[in-house]
Structure 1
Amino acid sequence: MLPVRVVLVHGSQVNRAVWTRYAALLGPDVEVVAPDLPAHGARRGETFSWEGALATVDAAVGPDDGVPVVLAGHSLGGYVVLAWAARHPRRLAGLALLGASGVPTGPGALLYRVLARVEHRLGADRMARGLDREFAALLPPALAAAVQEAGYGFDGIPAAWSAVMAHCRPEMLAEVTAPVLLVNGQFDQLRVDVPRYVRAARSAPWVRVVSVPRGLHVFPLTHPRETAAALWELLVHVRR
């Protein structure tokens, strides 16, 4: 079977450990690369910058060595990979936006502004305790412990979401020639503009929309099998 490199980019606050289970779920012919974004995980002492985030994806994608690359990102990571794909519209074999189908402008930007303000007001310690409780309730203990140990990232949130609001639009998909997968939880607040993203992906040979039943915004953590199944459908199309 044709080897494929799958680059998985995490969302805000968390780290690369959220993808711990995906190498096994995607199978032995898939090389999973999961970097930490600046100001997150092992890099939480760094300052977040948009160019730094895109450089992280550059390094994870690697040189054009003939191995097909599928780029997937969740939430903040989804917008980062969208921007990277817009800069390299013919480089990828596949693009997956997970929980990143909301337009971060106008009324839709309110959610991002509220998130940044709440996190700033609560402070890192209270936010960490809140995430600990949330993940303890939603995730298997081993995964919750792995994400906690890898280190949350809060300092970069205002800069990260300001950059998303400044730089990201569905129309960035216009020149992307890879197949595009849009996955959202059934109750994911960032699924509201899926039709606009579908229309924007006019150069893609294949666009697939998947809704994960009973999934919240954190569905890649709580519903890994369903998320991996959607990614596997994209991989099957890539290998054809």
Structure 2
Amino acid sequence: MGAPVRVVLVHGSQLSGAQWWRYAALLGPDVELAVPDLPAHGSRRDEAFTWERALEVVGDAVEGGTPGLPVVLVGHSLGGYLALAWAAEHPRRLAGLGLLGASAVPAGPGAALYRAIAGVEQRLGVDRMSRALDRQFAALLPEELAHVIKEAGYGFDGIPAAWAGVMGRCRPEMLADVTAPVLLVNGQLDQLRVDVRRYARAARSARWVRVVTVRHGLHVFPLTHPHETAAALWELVTSARRPSG
């Protein structure tokens, strides 16, 4: 076993901390794992989503562990953009930053992707979206994981506010002063990877930057390709154990 590291995994929109159900075993016993639920999701489903409150939840997860442990902050999709925003406000706090499926610039033409996601979900409504996600995860995931995610429930009410925050606030240049190593992981078939090189260039203060593409991965690759994702994250964990210098 190595020196302990705290890893905070922030889920994507609609889902909850349950999406990381397999990661405690994959990352190992010397990792202190935190999987917070964002406002309007999971155990906080009845709480209104605001960008400020979401960043507060992320910050509580970063600071809430064993004192003195190095912290690696990782987010998927919406969680990735929130991790980016939190790191930009605390550029020297983290020992590692991982952005998963969060490498598209949510402005200009690229914002159409985000508006389309939010628009479709709102038109379908909660019941139809829930059934659609149940079918999707039943087809893509092991039965036990699909059941865990279904039981945790989906969050839809916060989507307009969440993605408005992403589109209005998040840009690659927010990485400029982050000193921690930066890992950018995307599915090969995920449209939200289109600006990954711009994100990598923006992280000019990072100790190192690595871009990883998960072969055949869709946007939900952290769920469908957990071993590949955990292997990429392990580089951040290993780096966090080494003193900077």
Displacement of 1:109 = 0.2
Which residue pairs with 1:21 in the alignment?
A: 22
Give the TM-score normalised by the residue count of structure 2: 0.97
The one of 116, 136, 139 equivalent to 2:138 is: 136
Which residue pairs with 2:198 in the alignment?
A: 196
Equivalenced residue count is: 240
Displacement of 1:237 = 1.8
The correspondence of residues 96-107 of structure 1 with structure 2, limited to 5 A, is: 96-107=98-109
Rounded to whole Å, the distance in 1 between the matches of 2:230 and 2:115 is 30
Displacement of 1:151 = 1.1
Rounded to whole Å, the distance in 2 between the matches of 1:114 and 1:209 is 26
1:160-208 Cα distance to aligned partner (Å, 9 max, x none)? 0000001100000000000000000010111000110011000001101
The correspondence of residues 68-107 of structure 1 with structure 2, limited to 5 A, is: 68-107=70-109
Which residue pairs with 1:174 in the alignment?
A: 176
**Contact 2:71–2:240 (8 Å) recurs in 1:** no
Rounded to whole Å, the distance in 1 between the matches of 2:27 and 2:50 is 31
Which residue pairs with 2:35 in the alignment?
A: 34
Which residue pairs with 2:50 in the alignment?
A: 49
Rounded to whole Å, the distance in 2 between the matches of 1:234 and 1:210 is 12
Aligned AA for 1:102? A
Which residue pairs with 2:13 in the alignment?
A: 12
Which secondary structure does the structure 2 equivalent of 1:123 belong to? Answer: helix
Rounded to whole Å, the distance in 1 between the matches of 2:36 and 2:153 is 13
Aligned AA for 1:24? A
Rounded to whole Å, the distance in 1 between the matches of 2:142 and 2:220 is 14
1:75-114 Cα distance to aligned partner (Å, 9 max, x none)? 0000000000000000000000000000000000001111
Which secondary structure does the structure 1 equivalent of 2:25 belong to? Answer: helix
Question: Structure 1: which 4+ aligned runs deviate by more than 3 Å?
Answer: none
Which residue pairs with 1:58 in the alignment?
A: 59
Which residue pairs with 1:218 in the alignment?
A: 220
Displacement of 1:45 = 1.1
Which secondary structure does the structure 2 equivalent of 1:81 belong to? Answer: helix
Give the TM-score normalised by the residue count of structure 1: 0.98
Displacement of 1:65 = 2.4
Q: Percent identity?
A: 74
**Contact 2:84–2:175 (8 Å) recurs in 1:** yes
